[in-house]
Amino acid sequence: MSSPVHGWPARFPVGRVTYVNGRYLPHAQAGVHLEDRGLQFADAIYEVVGVAGGQFLDEEEHLERLERSVREIGMAAPMERGPLKLVLREMARRNRVRDGLIYMQVTRGAMRRDHPVPEAQPRPTLIITARSLDPQSIEDRRVKGVRVITEPDERWARCDIKSTSLLPNVLAKTAARKAGAFEAWLVDSEGYVTEGASTSAWIVSDDGRIVTRDLSNSILPGVTRRVILKAASEAQIPVEERKFTVAEALAAKEAFITAATLGATAVVAIDGQQIGDGKPGPLARRIQELYRHAALVNQKAQESGR
């Protein structure tokens, strides 16, 4: 194998493989055209599928959301769903991923740099990477809970599209890490929590209801969020989809975050203030159990042809 491309990190694991437009390439050598619109304009969308014990979690739901995001920005799909699922499995196999994630990115393709979307659009660029995560570190985080801070929500007005335009999220997440926290909860101009920089935000009210922001252009329609809402309803756990303030979150009995690679993870402090008794609460733990069961049942049903 040749040496990594000049200027690229040499720390990429040897043997890691990336998929770019029909080719499986050494990760350190993969790339796109300089005038790819994803690079030039963030004219691109992305999706992430979690993998646990070799099982793809909520795969159909993630692919549905990818297709929706593509449609919402008027871009052609790079591949039919069936062949794409075969590529995802090949990527997991080549990268030896049993616990981790599959990352997909679709850009509008490469052409001369110009802001307007051309009528004759180029072939979309499809990039897929796969990497392992340490399941024990994820479990440890769930056992101990995480800390979050609040940051102003400075994103664009179409957060329901899973766009790669993530600079506000990056800055909020960086602020969280500098503050010793795991996540940043974004707060709109009216003082209501929208969601985390890379997660959905939840609280538990005094009467035991789980509360999360209602769907709109202000938040991403989280796949894990949707599975949890359905599982909670089936378990007869009261649920409210509505706005909640930072003050309400600080006074909540429990709080937690959800994402494809996290499931449900308890929040034990917000802006340095302890939530509840400062430990993962019983409802957050129950939600995590329900999600694990629902995600695995869903995947088995999908693989059997449902």
Catalytic residues: 162
Q: How far apart are CA 51 and CA 37, in angstroms?
A: 29
Torsion angles phi and psi, residue 265, rounded to 5:
-130, 125
CA 291, distance to chain mean position in Å, is 16
Neighbours of 85 (CB within 10 A): 18
Q: Are 45 and 54 in contact (CB under 8 A)?
A: no
Q: Are 252 and 275 in contact (CB under 8 A)?
A: yes
Q: Are 265 and 146 in contact (CB under 8 A)?
A: yes
Q: 165 by DSSP, 3-state: which?
A: coil
Q: 25 by DSSP, 3-state: which?
A: strand
Q: How far apart are CA 224 and CA 144, in angstroms?
A: 21
Query: How crowded is the C-beta side of 139, counted as CA atoms within 13 Å?
Result: 7
